[in-house]
Structure 1
Amino acid sequence: MSTITLTTWSLEMTSPADLVPAAIPGPEITITRAEVPSPELSRFLYASVGGDIHWTDRLSLTRAQWVELLERPGVETWVAYDRGTPAGYVELDPQPDGVVEIMYFGLLPDFRGRRIGGHLLTFGTARAWDLASRWPDREPTRRVWVHTCSLDGPTAMDNYQRRGFKVFKTETEPKEATPTPGPWPGA
C-alpha cells in the first residue's frame, strides 16, 4: 500500500461573539436535537456522513460502547432534516472546564453543496455555546473546538473558518492510504 501525508487541523472559538452565522437555507431544512440517546441513529449518521471521508474510529464499537458515549451528561446530537429526511448532524462533546468539542459534524453525500452545512455548523456551534442552559450541572462554555483533516470533505476547513473558527494546531503524519468504507461498511 502507498503512504499519504495526513494533515490534521485543530480549530477553536473562544467567544460566542466570534460566530459568523451562515445564511439559513430555507424552511424545508429543520434542525432538531435527538433528546433520547440512540446508538442506532448515531451509528447510521456516523457511517452515512463519514463513509466516504474515512471516518472509521467508531465503526467497530459495540452497541454498549455507543450507549456509553451517548449517555454522558451534556453529549448532544443535533440532526438536520430536509423535509423529514436526515441530511446531516453535529455531535457535541462537553469536556472539563467549560470546553465543548464538536466531535462530529457533516452532511450525508446527497445533501452536500446545498448550503446546509454552513447553517448546521452555525446552529451546532451556537448550541455548544449555550449548552450549560440545558445542562445545569455544566459550567458555562468558554471555548468550542473542532478538528478536521485533509481527508475530510473539500469544503470543511473553509466552512469552519467562515464561521469564525481559528486554527490553533496543525499536525502532519504519514498514513497508509486506504479505501473509504463507504456508507454501507460490511454490507
Structure 2
Amino acid sequence: MEITTWYLEQDDPAGIRPARPPAWPVEIVRAELPSPELNRFLYTAVGGDWSWSDRLGWTWRQWHDWLDRPGVETWVASVRGTPAGYAELDGHRPGEVEIAYFGLLPRFAGQGVGGHLLTVVLRHAWSLSERHPALPPVRRVTLNTCSLDGPAALANYQARGLRVVRTQTRPGDSQPQAPGPWPGADRPKP
C-alpha cells in the first residue's frame, strides 16, 4: 500500500473561499487556556479513525508544554454544546502558520461543519500575529493531509482556497490499524 501526502498552502488571505452555511448552527471558540486533557480528547476523538498516533504517547507535561507555546492555538467547533471538531494552529515558523491538526468528530461529518470550521480557522490563522504581537506578520498558511485522512479532507482544503504545492508518495507496510478514540472502542466506523 502507498501513502500519499499532499502539502498545501495559501499565500493571501483574499484567497479564502468561504463554505456554505452548515446544516446546524456552529459555535467556534478559541480554547484560551492550555488544556492537555481537552486537546488529547479532541486529538483521539477526531483522529482515532484516521490513524493519528504520533501524539498518543505524549505525557501530560508534553501536551502542556506544546500548548503553552506562543502562537499555538486550539479552536473548537461545537453544535448545541457538543464538541463537533477542532483545529490546532502552530505559528512557530516566522511568517508562517500551520494548521497542524484539523478534523471533525464522526457524528458531524457530511453536515457542512468542516467547510465552515476551515473557513473560520483560515481567517484566524491569517490574524495570528494580531493575537500574538511578538510573532511576525503571517505571509502564508500551510497544511498537509494524507491518503489515510478522511476522504473529504483534501477536497475541503482545496475548496477553501488552499493549493497543493507538493505531493509525496511513500510505501506503507500495510493498511494501518486505526486505534479509534480509545482502546477497545467498538462502534460503527464513519
Report the TM range for the smaller structure's normalisation: over 0.9
1:47 to 44, 56, 59: 44
What amino acid is aligned across from residue 57 of structure 2 in structure 1? S
Q: What corresponds to 1:170 in structure 2?
A: 167
Kindly state the Cα deviation for residue 186 of structure 1 after the two structures are TM-superposed. Answer: 6.2
Kindly state the Cα deviation for residue 26 of structure 1 after the two structures are TM-superposed. Answer: 5.8
Query: In structure 1, how many angstroms separate the alpha carbons of the residues matched to 2:157 and 2:127?
Result: 19
* Alpha-carbon RMSD: 1.2
Q: Equivalent residues in 2 for 1:25-174 (5 A)? A: 25=22, 28-174=25-171
TM-score (norm 1): 0.95
SS at match of 1:176: coil
SS at match of 1:95: coil
TM-score (norm 2): 0.94
- Unmatched 5+ residue regions in structure 1? none
Would the aligned equivalents of 1:79 and 1:86 in 2 still touch at CA under 8 Å? yes
Kindly state the Cα deviation for residue 176 of structure 1 after the two structures are TM-superposed. Answer: 2.2
Aligned residues: 184
Would the aligned equivalents of 2:5 and 2:169 in 1 still touch at CA under 8 Å? yes
Deviation by residue 1:37-60 (Cα, 9 ceiling, x = unmatched): 100000000000000011000001
| Change in CA separation of 1:109 and 1:27 when aligned onto 2, cut-off 3 Å | closer
| Change in CA separation of 1:183 and 1:27 when aligned onto 2, cut-off 3 Å | closer
What amino acid is aligned across from residue 69 of structure 2 in structure 1? R
Structure 1 residue ranges, 4+ long, deviating more than 3 angstroms after superposition: none
SS at match of 1:168: strand
Query: In structure 2, how many angstroms separate the alpha carbons of the residues matched to 1:26 and 1:156?
Result: 18
2:13 to 4, 13, 16: 16
- Unmatched 5+ residue regions in structure 2? 186-190
